[in-house]
Copies of this chain bind each other. A is one copy, B any other.
Amino acid sequence: MLDLRYPIGPFVEPATFTASDRAAAIRTLAELPARLRLACAGLSDGQLYTPYRPGGWTVRQVVHHTADSHVNAYIRLKFALAETNPTIKPYAEAVWAEMLDARTAPVALSLDLLEALHARLVMTLGDLPPAAFARTLFHPERGAMTVDSYLALYDWHSRHHTAHVTALREREGW
C-alpha cells in the first residue's frame, strides 16, 4: 500500500558516489527552488493550508520546513568544509514546524530563501575538488557522514518534499 509520507520512497544511502552521481545531486539542488515553486504555483491560501496527507503538515508547513531543513544543511556543509569532522547539532523539526512563521507565513518567503540559499550552496559544491566530497561530519543521530552522503540525503530530501505537494495536487485534481 502506498505510504503518503514517502511518495518517492525512503532515503537509501548509495554505496558509492561517482562524479556523475555528484553532478546529478548538485543539479537537483540547483533545480529545487524552481521545482518547489512550480509545485506551489497558483495554489490558493486555502489550498496552502491543506495537509499534504491526513494528519500531516500543511503544504505551507512543508515549504517552510524545507527552507528550515536546508538552512541547517547549508550550515552543516560549511562546517564540514571549514572544520575537521565537526559534530553538528540536530534540530527539533516537529517543534520548528509548529512555530508561527512556519504555520502562517507566505510561502513566497521560503521559496525566495531557498532560491538564494541553493544558489550559494550550488556555487560552493560546484567548486569543490573531488577529495572534498570525502570530508566528514558527525551527526549525533545518523552517525558519521561524508559530504557525498550528505549531498545524497538532500538530493532525496528536495525531491521528497516537492513530491508531497505534487502528489497532493494530483490526488485533489488541483
Contacts and interface: CB of A to CB of B under 8 A. Distances in A.
A167 interface: no
Interface in A49-87: 64, 67-68, 71-72, 74-75, 78-79, 81-83, 86-87
A139 B9 CA distance: 38
Given A37-B37, A75-B71, A105 B123 contact: yes
Contacts of A160: none
Contacts of A124: 99-101
Q: How large is the interface on A (under 10, 10 to 19, 20 to 34, 35 or more residues)?
A: 35 or more
Nearest to A112: B116
Interface of A is mostly: helix
Nearest to A122: B42
The residue among A71, A110, A120 with the most chain B CB atoms within 10 A of its own CB is A120
A5 interface: no
A109 B112 CA distance: 10
A151 B106 CA distance: 24
A35 interface: yes
Interface stretch (A14-22, A89-97, A142-150): A89-97
A41 interface: yes
Nearest to A27: B42
The residue among A34, A37, A38, A110 with the most chain B CB atoms within 10 A of its own CB is A34
A104 B27 CA distance: 20
Contacts of A67: 116, 120
Contacts of A116: 67, 109-110, 112-113, 116
7 contacts: A33-B37, A34-B34, A68-B78, A75-B91, A100-B124, A101-B124, A105-B120
